[in-house]
A = this chain, B = another copy of it.
Amino acid sequence: MESFIDIAKLAKKASVKAQGLSGIIKDKGLIAVADALDKNKNKIFEANKKDLEFAKELVENGELTKSTYNRLKLDENKMRDMIQGIRDISKLDDPVNKVLLKRELDDGLILQKVSCPIGVLGIIFEARPDVISQISALAIKSSNAVILKGGKESKNTNKTILDIINEALSHINEFPQGMLNQVYTRDDVGEMLKADKYIDLIIPRGGNSLVKFIKENTKIPVLGHADGICHIFVDESADFDLAKRVVIDSKTQYPSACNTVETLLIHKDFANAKELIKSIEDMGVEIIFTPETWHKEYSDLKLAVKYVDDVNAAIEHINEYGSGHTESILTENKENAEQFMNLVDSAGVYHNVSTRFADGFRYGFGAEVGISTNKTHARGPVGIDGLVIYKYKLVGNGQIVNDYATGIKHFKHKDISI
């Protein structure tokens, strides 16, 4: 078995060659991958059955939750969605080789800022075998190499899926060997977090504790979010019916999602506060008026509630206790809405809508890499654009800096329309 560092070196080499893949070849690869998964789906179901048998024992012993077991299980519907997801990614615009800026620095000296892949992505995910095909497809489309580490419960399924994908790509000459890699052990995770020489970006897909652990144990940039402590502020002038509908959707539509509301801030003079709280309780939500901490993500039918003096107090509370994910103000006062959206320091700042809209597919990105609460690179729901960076290409005919330093020549800095 290859060591992690061998795999990482191979991925780094492959990432250089992957920069040269054309959009046409990449889409050809994606369609070949989708076809191959479709053709070999029984092999995948068999591998998945093996994983499920093992996982069943773990559930019986109380070592695995029933919901993890369910996420692990692949059925015809999930398989169809998985394969369709790859075909959808093949239809997206090529995110690489986009000219972002074109500027004539001087006669015959042309600067271009061009999008390019990041390099090698490290993906650490839990028991959801559909992640492996989705991330592989996103990596292909964005010309990045990738090292995947899935949960041990789905090892057979993951291995079978990636083997099928790599087999399909091996028939297309242009794809470099070692572009899509998988590792399996806990030790590999440790090695990955240390491999800042080879890995350019780590994307964790899983629960808070996984993401926190990764962020605290690597110097490699991490794209993701640990907590999703989302807030709704019901202003004095909020429409009661609207508030009821939006708060209930934000809390109950999918309580364990990261964009679910966890804290409700209510203006002290909002007339329908009691009715609003009752209507939330009627949906089976437990209201917590004096929580142990305002930093808590319940991921459950529980909602912390606090009365605040005004929009400024709401903004202050959110910036102090929030996780920078998504917050919504419900108000008929446009000035307050603007104040809230400008001063709340979160990836998503909403007015009169549910926090549950924070999602790459709902934003129309076509694919979602994850949701980031970072303040650099990519923030909020991240589409495939989050997997690219840019380089500057400068083409001339012998220009030297000394001519400009001595005043013989002068820069023109004339933008050329793209």
A-side interface residues toward B, CB under 8 Å? 15-17, 19-20, 103, 105, 109, 111, 118-119, 200-201, 215-216, 219, 221, 223, 239, 241-242, 245-246, 248-250, 253-254, 315, 319, 337, 339, 341-343, 345-354, 356-358, 362-364, 374-381, 389-402, 404-405, 411, 413
**Shortest beta-carbon distance from A109 to chain B in Å:** 7
A245 x B345 contact (CB < 8 A) = no
A109 contact from B103, B315, B353, B391, Cβ within 8 A: B353
Known: A319-B16, A411-B364. A392 touches B347 (CB 8 A): yes
Q: Report the bound CA distance from A111 to B362 in whole Å.
A: 10
Q: Report the bound CA distance from A399 to B347 in whole Å.
A: 19
Q: Report the bound CA distance from A264 to B108 in whole Å.
A: 24
30 A-B contacts (beta carbon < 8 Å): A19-B345, A105-B363, A111-B363, A118-B375, A200-B376, A216-B219, A221-B221, A221-B376, A242-B398, A245-B400, A248-B400, A249-B402, A254-B401, A337-B395, A341-B393, A346-B391, A350-B393, A350-B396, A351-B393, A352-B397, A353-B394, A353-B395, A353-B396, A353-B400, A356-B400, A357-B394, A357-B399, A377-B377, A377-B389, A380-B390
Q: Report the bound CA distance from A393 to B351 in whole Å.
A: 8
Q: Which residues of B contact A119 (CB under 8 A)?
A: 345, 375
B219 x A354 contact (CB < 8 A) = no
Q: Report the bound CA distance from A190 to B302 in whole Å.
A: 40
**Shortest beta-carbon distance from A382 to chain B in Å:** 11
Q: Which residues of B contact A356 (CB under 8 A)?
A: 400-401
Q: Report the bound CA distance from A111 to B254 in whole Å.
A: 22
Q: Which residues of B contact A248 (CB under 8 A)?
A: 400
B401 x A364 contact (CB < 8 A) = no
- List the 8 closest A-B pairs by CB distance, nearest first: A249-B400, A364-B413, A353-B396, A356-B401, A242-B398, A377-B377, A200-B375, A376-B377
**Shortest beta-carbon distance from A192 to chain B in Å:** 16
A246 x B400 contact (CB < 8 A) = yes
A105 x B357 contact (CB < 8 A) = yes
A380 x B392 contact (CB < 8 A) = yes
Q: Which residues of B contact A219 (CB under 8 A)?
A: 215-216, 219
Q: How many copies does the complex hold?
A: 2
**Shortest beta-carbon distance from A234 to chain B in Å:** 13
B343 x A400 contact (CB < 8 A) = no
Most chain B C-beta atoms within 10 Å of own C-beta, residue among A246, A347, A400, A405:
A400
B215 x A348 contact (CB < 8 A) = no
Q: Report the bound CA distance from A154 to B109 in whole Å.
A: 39
Q: Which residues of B contact A341 (CB under 8 A)?
A: 393
**Shortest beta-carbon distance from A184 to chain B in Å:** 26
Residue of B whose beta carbon sits closest to that of A404:
B362
A398 contact from B19, B239, B315, B400, Cβ within 8 A: B239
**Shortest beta-carbon distance from A16 to chain B in Å:** 6
Q: Report the bound CA distance from A12 to B390 in whole Å.
A: 30
**Shortest beta-carbon distance from A22 to chain B in Å:** 11
B392 x A353 contact (CB < 8 A) = no
A376 x B19 contact (CB < 8 A) = no
A379 contact from B362, B390, B397, Cβ within 8 A: B390
A16 x B345 contact (CB < 8 A) = yes
Q: Which residues of B contact A349 (CB under 8 A)?
A: 391-394
Q: Which residues of B contact A346 (CB under 8 A)?
A: 391
Known: A119-B345, A402-B253. A395 touches B352 (CB 8 A): yes
Further 15 A-B residue pairs, CB within 8 A, beyond A221-B375, A362-B411, A375-B389: A16-B343, A20-B342, A103-B364, A216-B219, A245-B400, A246-B399, A249-B400, A253-B400, A253-B401, A347-B392, A349-B393, A349-B394, A352-B399, A362-B404, A377-B377
Q: Which residues of B contact A364 (CB under 8 A)?
A: 103, 105, 111, 411, 413
A351 x B391 contact (CB < 8 A) = no
Q: Which residues of B contact A405 (CB under 8 A)?
A: 253
**Shortest beta-carbon distance from A343 to chain B in Å:** 6
